[in-house]
Amino acid sequence: MNDPIIQIRNLSKSYGSFRAVEGLNLDVHQGEIFGLLGPNGAGKTTTILMMLGLTEPSGGSVQVCGYQSASNPIPVKRKVGYMPDSLGFYDHMTALENLMYIARLNGFEETAGKKRALEMMEIVGLSTEKDKKTGAYSRGMKQRLGLAEVLIKKPEVIILDEPTLGIDPSGVKDFLSLIKSLSRDQGITVLLSSHHLHHVQQICDRVGIFVKGKLLAEGNIDTLSKTLFGHEGYVTSVKVAQEIPRPWPLEAELMQWEGLKKISIRDSEIEFTCTADLTAALVRFFVKEDYDVLSVSQKDYGLDEIYQKYFELEQR
């Protein structure tokens, strides 16, 4: 495999005694979509700022597209498009003027810049709104305009900080698929940060989990959750109308089932831990035994559980 396009070695940043980022090592390769996952205040934005040379690292190094970000930020910024989490535009200018300004700053000449800006607005689907003042734009439109702005410089890498923040669910879906298709079509490397596992899950090839300034794990999501929860497997919880007596006479019978490992009972709710998905069979069993099933839910491992899990592992 060729050299990674983003190479972070032993990166750390402290503000006084607070350590925002600690000993971070990370490689992102050409053309992949990498998700930086972590709760708020985990140091994601700080890491991104250091990649762009907007903040000086306290230790370690960042190399982007072959340039050191800290000592040589200008060529890095020429190749990297960055969309910050709180996106702002010059409200008194139209969207097109905003884009043209950025195009000019990136060394486009007037006509080429305008052509490029119009193309980008077409791609993100804002061409009908190009002469509207950005002050009148909605959050989702600003986000798309931000993407157009990031793309205008023909970047090799785009870094999106919380791109899904504050857009409605259908908007998120469109936005993410737009990013994905751009990355696939033009071979752009994408690094995006988020605290939403589900958003990241949809498009990322690989994710890194970032908690308290440390990268706890990296890899693709399936492997991550398998390594974490593999020994626990599937968890199904069933709620019934009747009170479950203790000891429960049926428990012994159920424990005979292949793949069922653990049963825990709390009032009228029973939780089954299995190595395979037994939800359907369990429901059939309850119905046969004349229980009134009120709800059945399969426990989903979200980001919360993953964080929690990693915290537990950290503590030990």
In the complex, least distance from residue 309 CB atom to other proteins, rounded to whole angstroms: 30
Residue 110 near other proteins by CB under 8 A: yes
Cα-flanking dihedrals φ and ψ of residue 250, to 5°? -80, -10
* Rounded least distance, CB 101 to other proteins, Å: 6
Cβ closer to other proteins: 102 or 216?
102
- Judged by CB under 8 A, the residue of 25, 92, 168, 251 near other proteins is 92
* Amino acid letter for position 295: S
Q: How far is the CB of 203 from other proteins (least distance, A)?
A: 22
Among 27, 101, 118, 127, binds other proteins (CB under 8 A): 101
Q: Which residues of 213-249 are buried (b: 16+ CB within 10 A; e: fewer)?
A: bbbbbbeebeebbeebbeeebbbbbbbbeeebeeeee
Two tokens, residue 293:
């099933």
Among 21, 102, 157, 209, the residue binding other proteins under the rule CB under 8 A is 102
Q: Of the listed pieces 4-12, 76-84, 216-224, 237-245, which binds other proteins according to CB under 8 A?
A: 76-84
Residue 237 binds other proteins (CB under 8 A): no
33 near other proteins (CB under 8 A): no
| Binding site residues, other proteins, CB under 8 A | 45, 49, 52, 54-56, 74-75, 77-78, 80-82, 84, 86-92, 101-102, 104-110, 146, 149, 153
